[in-house]
Every structure is written in C-alpha cells, then in structure tokens.
C-alpha cells in the first residue's frame, strides 16, 4: 500500500471537521488499502453491554502532548530537492499543511549525521579555533535545509518547533582528531575544549537566527553511548557517560545557553536508547545543579523490544514528573537482517503506531520519526547505514511514495495537536482473542480523541463509553487503525 505522488497528483485530506454533539467522526486506514477514510456515526444513549468496552474519562489527566514530526537530515533535504518544484510542493503539503498530516515537531542535526554525504562540522577551517572565529554554516544548511525550513513554515498553520542535535564536534576538539569515528571531547568538563563545544551550540543558534530560524530545544548529544552499539568506524559520534554529560551541563553548556540570547531554548538530555533509563536521569537531573538547566529527556526506539516501558519510561516519569519524555528518533529497516526499504509494508506502519500508543500510555509527550524522506536505497548515507522512511523518493520518475508508516503517523499527528492532554481510557478487561491497542486524549478545543489499533487478522467489535454522551459502537477491521473524534458538551 503506497500512494504514488508526482508533479500533478498526490492524495490530500480536507481540514478536520467535527460533527455536532451526539455524533462522531472516524478516520480509518487498513491493510486492505484504506488511507485515512473518513466516516461519521451516531453516539447511542445505551449499549447492549456485551463485548470489549472502553470508558473514556476526560477528568483524569496525564501528560500534556507536545506533538509529532520527523527529521530534516541532509539526506532528506537532498531527496526533496531532487524532485521537480511541483512534486516538492506536494511533498511539503503532505507533511505540513491542513491537507496533509500537519507535523509540528522537526529535528535537525547540528552539522553532519550519518545521513549526510560527508563528515563535516561548522568549524573545520581552522585548527584549535577556540574562539570559533572560523565558524560557518555548511552548504547543506544555507542552500538546502534553511530554504526548506522557510517553505515548511510557510506551508503549515501550526507552530513548528525545532530541535537541534549534534552528532560530532570539530575534529580538533576530539580525541581522535577527526569529525567521524568513535571519540570523546579532549580534556574534561570545565576546560577549554568543553567550553568551546558549549559555545558551538550558541553559535549554531546564532547563525540559524540570522536566517530567521529559531529553535524550541537542543539535545546535549545524539546517542552519547552509541559507541557501545554502533560498529561502523566512520560513524560521526561523540561519547559521553551520564557523569560527563552531567558535568558538561553544569560547567559549560548550561551556563553558555543561559548567558546567551537563546536562554529560552530548552535543553534535552540523553537522546539515546531507553535501556539507560532511569539511571541516566538519576545521574544528570538527580543532580540539582544540572537539573536547573534541563527541561526533558530524549529517547530513541532501537532497543525498545528488550526494555519494558514500565521499568524505563514509567519509572523515570515517577521519579522526575517535571521533566518531559520525548521520543526523538525512530525508524524501520535498521536491523541487519531486514530490507532497508520495504515499499508498502503495512507491518512497518503497525510497528510505528503500536510503539507510539505504548509509549504515549507510558507518559511520553511526543514522537519524532527519523528521516522525512529517503531514496529508493534508503539513503544517501556516507556510512552506508541505510534505513526506511515514511516517504521514499524516486527522482528518475519524479515521484515519491507515501508508505503505510506515513498514514499510521497521521492518525496521531493530524488529530492530536500540541496542548492536548492524555486522559484515562480504561477497558472492561474482557478476554478476547485479539488485544486492541488504544489511547485517549482531550484536545485544547475540548474535542475527545481515541486511537485504536487492531493488529489481528480478524475484525473486533468494541464500544467507547462517554458518560456525558453515551456509546460509540463500532468494529475495528482486521489489520486497521482508527482515530475517533467527537465534541463534548
């Protein structure tokens, strides 16, 4: 199941409209080929009382939702620019406009990532340039990503919150004297190397601000423990332990951001696999001197299958409820035994929505996909670390393909805007042959939202009870995902 888009055609959606009180609207996608199909139904005053029943309770509040989005890597920007202007416009509207899925979060690497065509930093021109006199943005920023950012912002009606994440420092600041490869910063937190690296963050924010692009947050380091898991010798990474990240924040990065004109930019720690939680949080924000600079914890999904959310996310939330949990990177096709790009894979869409639902129910405030766009091989990527993406570009045909992952993400990003609250959605615990996955929300406009995923190969009858209005009675078709919305009095 893919939608083939080109210069003259791409599927679109009408702006979301909610029927009057007493009715509901449903958007449904199915393995059989349905893509966000809209229908309406009536909320009944009573029900038969049999079958699986959910109870929606808007008076029990959990976390406030920040949003959903993807990452504008060099690879994503390159692939978008390979299309004709008309096809580009369709792609941008697919992600950011009211006729698309209305992303409101966007992550950007600070200089190169593995999804670049080369290893580079913004301070490669001069060695030992501790005053960063030679600092300058790269071609990939000024000619590709920044122009696209302006177009994204012009396309969306929602506020677009940007997050900057560094992969590697300039080589002369690193123990291997290269931008790429396994290395840490020279010296120790508090010294000239770490203070220069902290100033590098401020300069990055300064230079983007000159181009009228401002950031909501930065992460202290992308995957600081990645050297443990990533075998590629030329991967761009900078190693931090939780202790060195804590001290770097206390002595260098926290004060540098606080003293700059970007003092309102939030700082996110960790930005790594949840297997490290809650220990990483205990070390960093368990220290009050570091905690005063920190707003949240970033998480990647790659080891989720071996790390229960209750022991990681929920445990961290209970310890530190004032610090948000945000998924900052996820993708399919990263396992060495699976295809990098698997066009039309419904299973990969299900993997996304199940992960999002599970983690929303474990207190995350948002979920960011990895590359917005990749090519038919899952690149470009100078490390050859190719993966899949919700949208795949075929420049030879001036086409792009919207995969099931795209539509699964839409069931959240389109209908659960920033400021929504996760609320209680409980079931009657009836034992059925198919366990549905679900979560409930209350939007800022007081519209109720419930997302339901059916992974099974058969239909499931169920109902949603709203004590104020009555019952939604419906069927979750085999291999489907639904988003329900209704007005409350």
Catalytic residues: 223, 329
- The Cα–Cα gap between 224 and 1 comes to 37
Give SS3 for 391: strand
DSSP secondary structure of 58-72: EEEEEEEP-EEEEE-
- The Cα–Cα gap between 375 and 76 comes to 9
Contact at 8 Å (CB) between 414 and 16? yes
Contact at 8 Å (CB) between 73 and 115? yes
Cα 387–Cα 86–Cα 71 angle in degrees, nearest 5: 30
Element of type H or E holding 90: helix 85-96
Q: Based on DSSP, count helices (H) and strands (E) in the chain, helices before strands.
A: 12, 21
Contact at 8 Å (CB) between 138 and 208? no
Owner of token pair 């291999």: 479
Q: How many CA atoms lie within 13 A of 288 on its CB side?
A: 0
| Structural tokens at position 198 | 């902290």
| Among the listed residues 375, 312, 336, the one whose alpha carbon sits nearest the alpha carbon of residue 75 | 375
DSSP secondary structure of 421-469: EEEEEEE-----SS--EEEEEE-TTSEEEEEEEE-SSS-EEEEEEETTT
- The Cα–Cα gap between 488 and 113 comes to 45
CB atoms within 10 A of CB 12: 13
β-strands 399-402, 391-394 pairing? antiparallel
């Amino acid at each position: 199941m893919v939608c083939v888009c080109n210069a003259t055609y791409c599927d679109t959606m009408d702006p979301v409209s909610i029927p009057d009180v007493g009715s509901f609207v449903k958007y449904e996608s199915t393995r059989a080929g349905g893509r966000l199909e809209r229908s309406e139904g009536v909320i009944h005053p009573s029900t038969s009382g049999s079958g699986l029943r959910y109870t929606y309770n808007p008076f029990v509040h959990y976390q406030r939702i920040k949003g959903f989005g993807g990452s504008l890597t060099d690879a994503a920007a390159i692939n978008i620019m390979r299309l004709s202007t008309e096809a580009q416009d369709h792609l941008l509207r697919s992600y950011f406009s009211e006729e698309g899925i209305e992303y409101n979060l966007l992550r950007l690497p600070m200089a190169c990532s593995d999804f670049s065509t080369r290893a580079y930093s913004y301070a490669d021109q001069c060695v030992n340039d501790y005053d960063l006199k030679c600092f300058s943005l790269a071609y990939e920023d000024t000619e590709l990503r920044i122009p696209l950012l302006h177009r994204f912002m012009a396309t969306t009606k929602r506020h677009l919150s940007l997050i900057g994440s560094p992969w590697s420092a300039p080589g002369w600041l690193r123990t291997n004297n290269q931008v790429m490869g396994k290395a840490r910063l020279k010296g120790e937190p508090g010294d000239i190397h770490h203070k220069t690296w902290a100033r590098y963050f401020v300069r990055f924010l300064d230079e983007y601000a000159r181009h009228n692009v401002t950031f909501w947050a930065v992460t202290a380091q992308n995957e600081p423990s990645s050297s443990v898991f990533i075998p590629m010798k030329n991967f761009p990474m900078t190693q931090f332990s939780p202790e060195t990240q804590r001290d770097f924040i206390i002595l260098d990065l926290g004060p540098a951001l606080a003293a700059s004109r970007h003092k309102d930019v939030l700082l996110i720690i960790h930005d790594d696999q949840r297997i490290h939680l809650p220990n990483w949080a205990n070390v960093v924000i368990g220290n009050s001197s570091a905690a005063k600079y920190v707003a949240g914890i970033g998480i990647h999904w790659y080891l989720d299958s071996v790390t229960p959310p209750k022991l990681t996310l929920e445990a961290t939330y209970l310890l530190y409820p004032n610090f948000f949990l945000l998924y900052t990177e996820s993708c399919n096709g990263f396992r060495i035994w699976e295809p990098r790009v698997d066009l039309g894979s419904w299973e990969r869409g299900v993997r996304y929505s199940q992960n999002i639902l599970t983690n929303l129910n474990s207190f995350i405030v948002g979920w960011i996909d990895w590359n917005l766009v990749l090519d038919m091989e899952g690149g470009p990527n100078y490390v050859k670390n190719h993966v899949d993406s919700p949208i795949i570009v075929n420049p030879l045909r001036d086409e792009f393909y919207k995969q099931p992952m795209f539509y699964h993400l839409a069931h959240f990003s389109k209908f659960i805007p920033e400021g929504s609250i996760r609320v209680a959605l409980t079931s009657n615990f009836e034992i059925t042959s198919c366990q549905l996955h679900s979560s409930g929300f209350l939007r800022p406009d007081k519209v109720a939202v419930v997302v339901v995923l059916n992974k099974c190969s058969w239909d499931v009858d169920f109902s949603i009870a709203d004590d104020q209005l009555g019952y939604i009675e419906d069927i979750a078709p085999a291999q489907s995902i639904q988003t329900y919305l209704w007005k409350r009095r």
